[in-house]
Amino acid sequence: MILSATASADSAGTGWSGWVLVVAAALVSGLLIAGPALRRRWPVAWWVCLGFPAAWLRVVRTWRPLMAGCGLALSRKAALTVVSGLVGNGAPPPQPRVPRRGLIRPTAGGFCLLVRLLPGQVPDDFAKVAPAMAHNWEVHAVRVSESRPGVVRIVASASDPLKEPRLPRQRGTGQMLRVVVGVLETGTRWVMDLRQIPHWLIVGATRSGKSTLINALVAGLARQPVALVGIDCEGGMELSLYRPRLSALATNRAQAVKLLGSLVDLTLDRMTLCREARVRNVWGLPEKKRPVPIVVIVDELAELFLVASRSEKEEAQAAGTALIRLAQLGAALGVFLVVAGQRVGSDLGPGVTALRAQLGGRVCHRVADPGTAEMALGDLNPDALHAAQSISPEAAGTAVLASADGWDRARSYLVSEEEAERVAEEYADLTPYLPELVGAGEEPSVVRLDRIDPNDLDD
């Protein structure tokens, strides 16, 4: 009786495990068949279900031979080898030591892991063999950075996230002055955060993607309670698109000098306000008293600095000095600069290098001359220079970003001029009235937009 009960339980158990095996096999084969379609339609789901487990297996399987092949394994002490040879009676000598790796964690479009360095190794030793790792693990790219002393972080991207960056459904970050403008090579969002890095220099040859990036930035900022001011000395051809959402726009250098002068005065007034309230920046002021943040967008820096005749020299110097003062004072007083240019070099004028030093955020698209890439990235991160110089013309919108913290490759979302224009029109009601710029507005072609009744604001 007992025997027959055990036998029936056994057969039931086999039945269950059989079914589990069949279902698992069906699931795996279904996933394999639907794999390519799944990858196209839901890349993250594909990566989690199929891509990551396969990559995990490859890393685990190849870690030791890869480290040995790349010269990152350390052979055991000679004495130990001799002793093991004597004791082990001809047994194979002990394996060389390889760097210890931590857990392999999945990311949105790849995986990352931490690796402890062996004695005598530096992070550069790993950075040099990153291409070998990428080939071995069959991933698009591998980046190596120092995580903390003695430990490196290896980040692998399975495919190139910059190939076709998809516009996310929600582009806002919910925070003021932070805009998601594109995607980073690591698969994460590229956030331009003006509170963290207040001033930016964006360079790139013609058709490299500067305007598209500015479109993405403006489309994000236009929805926020901030003032946008444009300086476009090429007759306003680029920035006049956002005209309904701009609090002021200068379309030639004479107007730009006037507008920049007014902005410097406004900044000095804010300084007095902060001093009287005994706070160190506008963010320390009570919300009701806090002045509206102003983002000044300068398109084509060279137009401000270039001098064709002697008479223009003074104007160019005045524009340069005002920009530098704004950059120096603005961050704490709620004035932010985004300066774009095709060619930025010290030959434009003595103020350019001083201005560059104040623009902490750098974005370098494909450039026509190495000097501009050097100007944008060279002083912060020489490693980024090579990456910037290898951007191809087909990859418009791709850029190298650098700040004091490091560098990244990224690509902006393709926000067309029509889309930017539509957003500017839609949010025109949010355009703040800036009485301080009234002086600059006296020139007929400096546009001042009194979209908001100042009395409403006072309430």
Ligand X SMILES: Nc1ncnc2c1ncn2[C@@H]1O[C@H](COP(=O)(O)OP(=O)(O)OP(=O)(O)O)[C@@H](O)[C@H]1O
Contact residues: ligand X, CB under 6 A: 204, 206-212, 342, 396-397, 411-412, 414
Q: Using CA atoms, how far apart are residues 49 and 26, in angstroms rounded to an integer?
A: 14
210 marked as part of a ligand binding site: yes
CB of 234 to ligand X, least distance (A): 9
CB of 201 to ligand X, least distance (A): 14
Which single residue is written with the structure tokens 């063999």? 129
- Based on CB atoms, which residue is closest to ligand X, 164 or 269? 164
Q: Using CA atoms, how far apart are residues 73 and 121, in angstroms rounded to an integer?
A: 10
Q: Using CA atoms, how far apart are residues 26 and 30, in angstroms rounded to an integer?
A: 6
Supply 387's token pair: 């990456």
CB of 213 to ligand X, least distance (A): 7
- Based on CB atoms, which residue is closest to ligand X, 262 or 412? 412
Query: Which residue's beta carbon is nearest to the bound ligand X?
Result: 397
Query: HEC profile for the chain?
Result: CHHHHHHHHHHHHHHHHHHHHHHHHHHHHHHHHHHHHHHHHCHHHHHHHHHHHHHHHHHHHHHHHHHHHCCCCECCCHHHHHHHHHHCCCCCCCCCECCEECCCEEECCEEEEEEECCCCCCHHHHHHCHHHHHHHHCCCEEEEEEEECCEEEEEEECCCCCCCCCCCCCCECCCCCEEEEEEECCCCEEEEECCCCCEEEEECCCCCCHHHHHHHHHHHHCCCCCEEEEEECCCCCCHHHHHHHEEEEECCHHHHHHHHHHHHHHHHHHHHHHHHHCCCCHHHCCCCCCCCCEEEEEECCHHHHCCCCHHHHHHHHHHHHHHHHHHHHHHHHCEEEEEEECCCCHHHCCHHHHHHHHCCEEEECCCCCHHHHHHHHHCCCHHHHHHHHCCCCCCCCEEEEEECCEEEEEEECCCCHHHHHHHHHHCHHHCCCCHHHCCHHHCCCCEECCCCCHHHHHC
What are the φ and ψ backbone dihedral angles of 365, each rounded to 5 degrees? -80, -170
CB of 189 to ligand X, least distance (A): 14
- Based on CB atoms, which residue is closest to ligand X, 303 or 374? 303
204 marked as part of a ligand binding site: yes
- Based on CB atoms, which residue is closest to ligand X, 110 or 397? 397
207 marked as part of a ligand binding site: yes
Among residues 90, 153, 188, the alpha carbon closest in space to that of 409 is found at 188
Q: Using CA atoms, how far apart are residues 321 and 104, in angstroms rounded to an integer?
A: 51
CB of 449 to ligand X, least distance (A): 24
116 marked as part of a ligand binding site: no
What are the φ and ψ backbone dihedral angles of 371, each rounded to 5 degrees? -60, -35
209 marked as part of a ligand binding site: yes
- Based on CB atoms, which residue is closest to ligand X, 89 or 206? 206
CB of 208 to ligand X, least distance (A): 4
CB of 418 to ligand X, least distance (A): 11
- Based on CB atoms, which residue is closest to ligand X, 162 or 296? 162
- Based on CB atoms, which residue is closest to ligand X, 199 or 210? 210
- Based on CB atoms, which residue is closest to ligand X, 57 or 167? 167
128 marked as part of a ligand binding site: no
- Based on CB atoms, which residue is closest to ligand X, 49 or 414? 414
- Based on CB atoms, which residue is closest to ligand X, 209 or 236? 209
Binding-site annotation, residues for ATP: 204-211
Binding-site annotation, residues: 204-211
